[in-house]
Structure 1
Amino acid sequence: MRYMMSIMSDPQAEANTEMTPEIFEAMAAYNEELVKAGVLLAGDGLAPSAEATRVTFSNGRSTVTDGPFAEAKEFIAGYWIIQVSSPEEAVEWARRCPHPAEGDTTEMSLVLRRIMDTDDFGDEMPEELKERERELRAHNEHEA
């Protein structure tokens, strides 16, 4: 099972969070733990929302809005793609993520979402489209 594990943040926390050498070290140690366990497939931190662009689709048109997005309550600040054997294992890895120490009132949350495979769509997705998706994914894995 593959999961996307996202660090969620809010605009206020993003503006007030100072990335210290200790935070970088804690994240590096966590990432090394994921690699040594053989569960990490990918992961990155994301640029601040001030550098983001939102493309919204409505009524057959698209609208482009540059960040930051003041109305956003939370957004993805970083992510990992992990491959684990169960939902419980995914939760266990999420619980190990570096987080604010006791007494620090900064709130941080992770969201775990299982990444669906083509077979998860059952009969809703025609078999020929599933095969096309499998071929595309195999091509991307070969290129990586």
Structure 2
Amino acid sequence: MRVMVLVKATKESEAGILPTEQAFAEMDRFNDELAKAGVIVSGDGLKPTSHGVRVAFDGEERTVTCGPFEAVGELVAGYWIWEVADMDEAVAWAKKCPNPMPGPSEIEIRPFYEPSDFA
């Protein structure tokens, strides 16, 4: 099964504060483990929402709002796409992950719809 692993934003990530060299090194080691195990499909960090825009849809109308956006804990700072056997394996990998932020942080794991879901 494929899952998207979402790294939630923090005040620090939204301020553009990058992780320390040590944190980058720990994350590189973790990503190497994911690659060696054949789990990682892709992944990247995202710039703060001050660099982004949102497009809202209401019928034929479109409204563009430039960032930054509120509700920091609900925003995404990065992601991975993993190929795992099941949600238990995804959780096991997430528990091995170094803390992606310099303080309290959260990772959300969401499965993709698969063709079998529509059969």
1:109 aligns with 2:106: yes
- In the alignment, which residue of structure 1 is the partner of 2:8? 8
More helix by share: 1
Q: 1:73 to 1:30 in 2, by over 3 A?
A: closer
> Comparing both chains, which one has the higher relative contact order based on Cα–Cα distances under 8 Å and sequence gaps of 6 or more?
2
Structure 1 residue 18: Cα displacement: 4.0
Q: Which runs of 4+ in 1 moved over 6 A?
A: none
Residue 57 of structure 1 aligns with an amino acid whose one-letter code is F
- In the alignment, which residue of structure 2 is the partner of 1:42? 42
Counterpart CA distance in 2 for 1:54 and 1:97 is 30
Structure 1 residue 96: Cα displacement: 0.9
| SS at 2:54 equivalent | strand
Point out where structure 2 has 5 or more consecutive residues left out of the alignment.
Answer: none
Structure 1 residue 27: Cα displacement: 0.9
Point out where structure 1 has 5 or more consecutive residues left out of the alignment.
Answer: 123-144
- Aligned positions of 1:4-83 closer than 5 A: 4-10=4-10, 12-14=11-13, 15=15, 17-83=17-83
Counterpart CA distance in 1 for 2:71 and 2:41 is 32
Counterpart CA distance in 1 for 2:72 and 2:60 is 24
Residue 111 of structure 2 aligns with an amino acid whose one-letter code is R
Structure 1 residue 28: Cα displacement: 0.5
Compute the TM-score of the two structures, normalised by the length of structure 1.
Answer: 0.74
Q: 1:76 to 1:100 in 2, by over 3 A?
A: closer
Structure number with bigger Rg: 1
Compute the TM-score of the two structures, normalised by the length of structure 2.
Answer: 0.88
Structure 1 residue 60: Cα displacement: 2.6
Structure 1 residue 71: Cα displacement: 4.8
Aligned-residue identity in percent: 39
